[in-house]
């Protein structure tokens, strides 16, 4: 397991060689170099955008069956190679092998879903108010999309942005996250193997300057970004300045409310999954556990007990439950927030210390901090690690107010046996996704995904909603 990949850009159907100044280390064992990576710049972005622009007319004009077949074949290839690609993903990103394989299959399913969508270009027939006139709406491909993707779902998110872009006839330049380009390259390679024509999907590996070059490029017609709120705001401002379309998915500080009438075991299992699986590195993670007084102490004790039983370890070790953080910086962010929470008066009831492992890696013990208050930094700022805090509340109303009281609004959950509270929560939670008796994280691939407030901007991603962003509407009049 010590092969080092030599990464290249992927422009106009060719792998383009470049110097590789950057090394991607395995977060589970930092002695291992997973990939040597080029650092692209404006020249590579210009070449990639030119290739995507040149490829657009033929791809948009092809039979939808051509696009559908490519996506379907690539989906099959990903699923067939789930072990190999899932292993690469886990070596590069650090999530457990089960999670890496699961994500690879999810990417395959996304491609297959959009293989179907390619054949379903939506449109409407409308009656004009004028006699003898018909009106139709048509959905047309937009052009070149720049996709800027995060490291935490290094194959699923490139797939869920690229698949609808390609299905509806657009061409793409992908800029994968700095830490995870090798996994993104596996997706790009599989799509080419499945018959994607050259220039339709390009990839430029590098840092933030690559993303910025895409944002500023006059021939990039739309930008889809998933990442932090600060970077997202810059992407949107740059896109708006030159009237490019833009779609952003950003942070979360997702609440999970546990009411007194919840089943304790179920509530603990939901919190465990939502807060800590995938090392808590999900924008949908439940980082604020808002727990009613009557169940509070039992819930905190039971969850802390389960956390102490989890094994933190190398991603590929079958005994591991929680893999490492993706990077040293991400690991240090978790520890910094644990200290901030302690300083604010929080009580660490599980984790908190640096685990001592045989292999050198960026490990964080899953950490639960009890007795925190709503206004604290630990309850306002996204940590993006296996760290959650509990807030004690007296009533459902108080819980709801706290749940809604942050600047993010991606996913919000409640564990309750009460239909009344569940339905009320679905109506009043200020979040793009509400989860009743389910973790806030872990979403289906064929339904709309997105949030409110500072979590999202622009049309929804995924499922039937994706057509909104990746096509434009033409209104066509005919007098008979």
How far apart are the C-alpha atoms of 238 and 217, rounded to whole Å?
A: 10
The answer to whether 155 contacts ligand UN1 (rule: CB under 6 A) is: no
In the complex, the smallest distance separating the C-beta of residue 125 from ligand UN1, rounded to whole angstroms, is: 35
Pick the closest to residue 115 from 166, 68, 169 (CA basis): 68
Segment lying near ligand UN1 (by CB under 6 A), choices 116-124, 350-358, 427-435, 437-445: 437-445
The answer to whether 234 contacts ligand UN1 (rule: CB under 6 A) is: no
Cβ closer to ligand UN1: 103 or 221? 103
CB-based contacts of 98: which residues, under 8 Å, 6+ apart? none
Q: Alpha carbon of 444 to those of 105, 107, 110, 156, 448: distances in Å?
A: 12, 11, 10, 12, 9
The answer to whether 247 contacts ligand UN1 (rule: CB under 6 A) is: no
| Residue from 163, 203, 443, 466 in contact with ligand UN1 (CB under 6 A) | 443
How far apart are the C-alpha atoms of 108 and 111, rounded to whole Å?
A: 5
| Whether the Cβ atoms of residue 281 and residue 326 lie closer than 8 Å to each other | yes
How far apart are the C-alpha atoms of 287 and 394, rounded to whole Å?
A: 20
In the complex, the smallest distance separating the C-beta of residue 135 from ligand UN1, rounded to whole angstroms, is: 37
Task: Give the binding-site size for ligand UN1 (rule: CB under 6 A).
Answer: 11
The answer to whether 152 contacts ligand UN1 (rule: CB under 6 A) is: yes
Cβ closer to ligand UN1: 68 or 286? 286
The answer to whether 258 contacts ligand UN1 (rule: CB under 6 A) is: no
The answer to whether 438 contacts ligand UN1 (rule: CB under 6 A) is: no
| Whether the Cβ atoms of residue 87 and residue 97 lie closer than 8 Å to each other | yes
Segment lying near ligand UN1 (by CB under 6 A), choices 21-29, 175-183, 374-382, 435-443: 435-443
Cβ closer to ligand UN1: 41 or 442? 442
Cβ closer to ligand UN1: 96 or 152? 152
Residue that is written with structure tokens 């996506």 in the block: 71
The answer to whether 457 contacts ligand UN1 (rule: CB under 6 A) is: no
| Residue from 183, 284, 321, 471 in contact with ligand UN1 (CB under 6 A) | 284
Segment lying near ligand UN1 (by CB under 6 A), choices 5-13, 162-170, 277-285, 358-366: 277-285
H and E: helices and strands count for the chain:
14, 23
Pick the closest to residue 142 from 39, 237, 52 (CA basis): 52
The answer to whether 226 contacts ligand UN1 (rule: CB under 6 A) is: yes
Pick the closest to residue 364 from 13, 27, 34, 17 (CA basis): 27
What track of x and - describes contact with ligand UN1 for positions 132 through 151 (by CB under 6 A)? Answer: ------------------x-
How far apart are the C-alpha atoms of 385 and 366, rounded to whole Å?
A: 8
**Choice among 92, 103, 249, 382 that is catalytic:** 249
Cβ closer to ligand UN1: 152 or 180? 152
Q: At what angle do helices 97-117 and 156-167 cross, to 10 degrees?
A: 10
Q: Alpha carbon of 258 to those of 30, 224, 279: distances in Å?
A: 39, 34, 22
| Residue from 32, 249, 382, 468 in contact with ligand UN1 (CB under 6 A) | 249
- The beta strand positions in 22-132, using DSSP E, are 22-26, 29-37, 124-127
Q: What is the DSSP string of 386-430?
A: SEEEEEEESSHHHHHHHHT-SSEESEEEEE-S-HHHHHHHHHH--
- The beta strand positions in 17-111, using DSSP E, are 22-26, 29-37
Q: Is 249 a catalytic residue?
A: yes
Determine the distance from the C-alpha atom of residue 22 to the mean position of all C-alpha atoms in its chain, rounded to a whole number: 24
Segment lying near ligand UN1 (by CB under 6 A), choices 37-45, 74-82, 208-216, 440-448: 440-448
How far apart are the C-alpha atoms of 149 and 223, rounded to whole Å?
A: 11
In the complex, the smallest distance separating the C-beta of residue 442 from ligand UN1, rounded to whole angstroms, is: 5
In the complex, the smallest distance separating the C-beta of residue 14 from ligand UN1, rounded to whole angstroms, is: 30
In the complex, the smallest distance separating the C-beta of residue 305 from ligand UN1, rounded to whole angstroms, is: 25
In the complex, the smallest distance separating the C-beta of residue 365 from ligand UN1, rounded to whole angstroms, is: 21
In the complex, the smallest distance separating the C-beta of residue 208 from ligand UN1, rounded to whole angstroms, is: 17
| Residue from 441, 454, 466, 471 in contact with ligand UN1 (CB under 6 A) | 441
| Residue from 153, 168, 335, 470 in contact with ligand UN1 (CB under 6 A) | 153
Active site residues per annotation: 249
- Residues binding ligand UN1 (CB under 6 A): 150, 152-153, 226, 249, 282-284, 441-443
């Amino acid at each position: 397991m010590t092969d080092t990949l030599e990464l290249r850009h992927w422009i106009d159907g060719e792998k383009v060689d470049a110097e590789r100044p950057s090394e991607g280390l395995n977060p589970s064992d930092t002695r291992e170099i997973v990939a040597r990576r080029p650092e692209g710049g404006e020249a590579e972005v210009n070449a990639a955008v030119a290739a995507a622009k040149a490829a657009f007319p033929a791809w948009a004009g092809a039979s939808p069956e051509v696009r559908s077949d490519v996506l379907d074949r690539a989906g099959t290839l990903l699923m067939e190679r789930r072990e190999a690609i899932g292993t690469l993903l886990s070596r590069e990103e650090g999530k457990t092998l089960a999670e890496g394989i699961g994500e690879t299959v999810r990417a395959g399913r996304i491609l297959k879903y959009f293989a179907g969508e390619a054949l379903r270009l939506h449109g409407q027939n409308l009656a004009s108010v004028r006699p003898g006139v018909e009106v139709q709406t048509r959905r047309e491909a937009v052009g070149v999309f720049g996709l800027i993707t995060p490291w935490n779902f290094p194959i699923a998110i490139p797939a869920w942005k690229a698949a609808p872009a390609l299905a509806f006839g657009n061409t793409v330049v992908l800029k994968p996250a700095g830490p995870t380009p090798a996994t993104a390259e596996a997706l790009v390679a599989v799509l080419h193997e499945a018959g994607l024509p050259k220039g339709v999907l390009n990839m430029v590996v590098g840092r933030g300057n690559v993303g910025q070059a895409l944002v500023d490029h006059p021939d990039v017609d739309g930008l889809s970004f998933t990442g932090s709120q600060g970077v997202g705001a810059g992407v949107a401002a740059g896109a708006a300045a030159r009237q490019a379309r833009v779609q952003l998915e950003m942070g979360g500080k997702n609440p999970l409310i546990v009411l007194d009438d919840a089943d304790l075991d179920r509530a603990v299992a939901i919190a465990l999954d939502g807060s800590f699986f995938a090392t808590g590195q999900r924008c949908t993670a439940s980082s604020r556990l808002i727990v009613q007084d009557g169940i509070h102490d039992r819930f905190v004790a039971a969850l802390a007990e389960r956390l102490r039983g989890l094994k933190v370890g190398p991603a590929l070790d079958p005994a591991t439950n929680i893999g490492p953080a993706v990077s040293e910086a991400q690991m240090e962010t978790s520890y910094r927030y644990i200290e901030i929470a302690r300083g604010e008066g929080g009580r660490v009831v599980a984790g908190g210390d640096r685990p001592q492992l045989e292999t050198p890696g960026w490990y964080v013990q899953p950490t639960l901090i009890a007795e925190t208050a709503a206004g604290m930094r630990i309850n306002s700022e996204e940590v993006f690690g296996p760290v959650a805090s509990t807030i004690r509340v007296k009533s459902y109303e108080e819980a709801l107010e706290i749940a809604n009281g942050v600047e993010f609004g991606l996913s919000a959950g409640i564990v309750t046996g009460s239909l009344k509270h569940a339905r009320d929560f679905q109506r009043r939670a200020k979040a793009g996704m509400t989860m009743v008796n389910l973790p806030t994280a872990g979403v289906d691939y064929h339904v709309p995904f997105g949030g409110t407030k500072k979590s999202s901007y622009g049309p929804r991603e995924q499922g039937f909603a994706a057509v909104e962003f990746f096509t434009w509407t033409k209104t066509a009049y005919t007098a008979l």
